[in-house]
Amino acid sequence: MSFDYKKRVNTSITDEPIGKLLDSLRMETAFFTQSTLRSPWALTMPPMGNCMMYHIVLKGSAFFRIDNEDITLNTGDFILFPKGEGHNLSDGHCLSFTPLEALPIKAITERYETLDYGGNGESSSMVCGVLRFQHPLAIKLLGILPSTIVIRRNSQATENLVGNISELLKSEAVNIGIGSEGVIARLTDILVITAMRQYLLELNDEKMGWLGALEDDRIGQALKIIHETPEHHWSLEELALKVGMSRTSFAQQFKRLVGNTPMEYLTEWRMSLAYSKLQLSKDSILAIALDIGYQSEAAFSRAFKKTIGQSPKEIRKAYHASV
């Protein structure tokens, strides 16, 4: 029996709904910093909107102060700030905090930086970074995630993945060479996905919110249809028919699991896609409107402003002014 490589290459990889969602979140590294910090040291990270921040300790320890809560990270531990909230970190003793913009950070490339800071005491080594998500579902996902997620090096739930990646990061950080920037970015991407996955898997049904709808055979299929074909002029009846439900049962079940009516969710999804396109593409507003199922720029702009609170032109202008 011959090996059909064409069939194997074209075979899609199956995954559970939440796994597919995490896989679809296209992450972009805004920047990451290889930091060597010697006691005494203390830093202040400002809040960063629409971003995630993370720190992984490669050697030594770091102490975080978040909303009057103290968190200690040791070698191989990882912390994620999914909502980009500001925080303080230090050696645990220094009380004089230096803001991020005042640190002697050295830019190596557009996205990769180094920091050598502090006094003459015990040193710690860290990789710290900021990620931006391009996928519109990220905004909804962040609403479920907590302010911080900590994964320990010896966590049984992650089967020492954090520890293994920590060792790889340490090797790359010490021996910077061709491709190291890309390797470090990808390794930290894996850590971020691992942290979110672990948190989501531990949630009960009540806290899952709209994510729980992805696990439902019929409502999950309806969400998939909306996500993949937002340009189609869907009606409540047509969506119900697609998933084999009556109009009334479909509307009630969708509302119960998702929190929105099907038509409200369709509009929200279209506007989320448009929001992303306005920021990350050069497509005209009319082209974006047509792509998501609107037949005129005026109709799209009215719906967009009603949903988002700002016009498409205002969103695009604000984004380009910030980058």
How would DSSP label each residue in 13-54? PP--HHHHHHHH--EEEEEEEEEEEESS-EEEEPP-TTEEEE
pLDDT, the chain, mean: 83
Total structural domains within the chain:
2
C-alpha to C-alpha distance for 210 and 32, rounded to whole angstroms = 32
For residue 66, the surrounding DSSP H or E stretch is strand 61-66
Confidence of residue 97 (pLDDT cuts 50, 70, 90): very high
* Residues 264-283: tens digit of each pLDDT: 999 988 998 898 888 878 89
1 located within any domain:
no
198, 284: one domain: no
C-alpha to C-alpha distance for 222 and 236, rounded to whole angstroms = 11
* Residues 175-196: tens digit of each pLDDT: 666 777 777 777 777 777 778 7
pLDDT for residue 164 is more than 80: no
* CATH code for position 216: 1.10.10.60
28, 156: one domain: yes
* Residues 200-238: tens digit of each pLDDT: 777 766 656 667 787 788 998 999 899 889 999 999 999
Instruction: For tokens 């590294």, name the residue.
Output: 29
120 located within any domain:
yes
Distances 242 to 173, 200, 223 between C-alpha atoms, Å: 51, 29, 11
* CATH code for position 47: 2.60.120.10
Measured in degrees and rounded to the nearest 5, phi and psi for residue 287 equal: -60, -40
76 located within any domain:
yes
With contact defined as beta carbons under 8 Å apart, do 210 and 140 qualify?
Answer: yes
94, 134: one domain: yes
3 located within any domain:
no
11 located within any domain:
no
Model confidence, pTM: 0.70
311 located within any domain:
yes
* Residues 46-93: tens digit of each pLDDT: 998 778 899 989 899 999 988 778 899 998 888 999 888 999 999 999
173, 218: one domain: no
Give the structural domain span for 116. Answer: 17-202
Helix (H, G, I), strand (E, B) or coil at 304: helix
